[in-house]
Structure 1
Amino acid sequence: MIRYWMAAISKEHTSRGIQGGFIQVCHGKKAPLQKMKMGDYIIVYSSKVNMSDTIKYQKFTAIGRVSDNEVYPFQMTPDFCPFRRKIEFLECQEVSIIDLIPDLQFIENKQRWGYPFRFGFFEISEHDYQLISSKMLLHDS
């Protein structure tokens, strides 16, 4: 059964992941990545361009498919070894979340719509995936 996931990652870090064909979530934690299986889909939401920004970005910035069943460590610095998953990113355009908020099921409180993203990574319904991907994908995937 295919499952659908949402990750909250800055646009800058998302771009690195797209270039490298990987996703890294929740400051490199392994457990969230272990929930995904090959063939699952993931959408990335970027509230900011980079982590230190105070300017809002508020766009879905990437969409992809999990391409294997391995979670692997990656030594970024001597003191930081986060975990990653291989992702086949799909050709897409960025889409603002604002117009989609009323129709997204994972956003229960439309007044405080940013709340779910505080968790960094969570499962979404097929309905929400289809709604967002229909606006993002440039080709059928």
Structure 2
Amino acid sequence: MNPGSGHWLAVASAEHVRRGRASGFMQVCHGKAGPLRRIGAGDGVVYYSPATVMGGKDGLKSFTAIGKVRAGEPYRFDGGGGFQPFRRDVDWATSRETPVAMLLGQLDFTAGRNWGYQLRLGLCPLSEHDFRLIAEAMEADFMEEGLRLSA
């Protein structure tokens, strides 16, 4: 069981991330429950959006949300039309969307030549170092949300 001290990088289009921010949830890997079960209450999560819309080619390549996962297990949501994705509730920090290019060369996860390859999984562990750098670049205000930056 995850003690709630991890940090995660999730991948989704900015459009989907913005919907989750507005409603206080996260969803990964086309709504699969398994990846969400790896995340613990209190874990930090950052969303990376390669594009504005799913399948888009606009090259957004930005961090689009940052927050802390709330207590509770993944739950099924009726999205209509038979789509019932799993979600986790998240307290999203006030932040600004930030291009990954601003941090290339500083982040542990971008150290390799093909750093984007790991993102195909939709959810990857993130070092505390990277979480803090991204939070700083996004001007994340965790205190406004009553959250601490690290667990």
* TM-score (ref. length: structure 2): 0.87
Shift of 1:139: 2.8
Instruction: Please provide the CA RMSD for this pair.
Output: 1.3
Candidates 77, 82, 86, aligned match of 2:80: 77
Candidates 96, 99, 103, aligned match of 1:100: 103
Cα gap change, 1:99 to 1:25, in 2 (>3 Å) = same
Structure 2 residue aligned with 1:128: 130
The CA deviation string for residues 66-100 of structure 1, in whole angstroms up to 9 with x for no partner, is 01122100011232111000000000011110131
Structure 2 residue aligned with 1:86: 89
Structure 2 residue aligned with 1:9: 12
CA distance in 2, matches of 1:21, 1:139: 16
SS in 1 for 2:74: strand
Contact 1:90 1:137 in 2 (8 A): no
CA distance in 2, matches of 1:136, 1:31: 28
Of Structure 1 and Structure 2, which has the larger fraction of its residues in strand?
Answer: 1
Shift of 1:138: 4.1
> Stretches of 4+ moved more than 4 A in 1?
none
Structure 2 residue aligned with 1:27: 30
CA distance in 2, matches of 1:88, 1:139: 11
CA distance in 2, matches of 1:85, 1:140: 19
Structure 2 residue aligned with 1:112: 114
SS in 2 for 1:106: helix
Structure 2 residue aligned with 1:139: 141
Contact 1:23 1:84 in 2 (8 A): yes
**Identical pairs, percent:** 37
Shift of 1:140: 4.7
**1:47 equivalent in alignment to 2:53:** no
SS in 1 for 2:60: coil
* Gapped regions of structure 2 (runs ≥ 5): 144-151
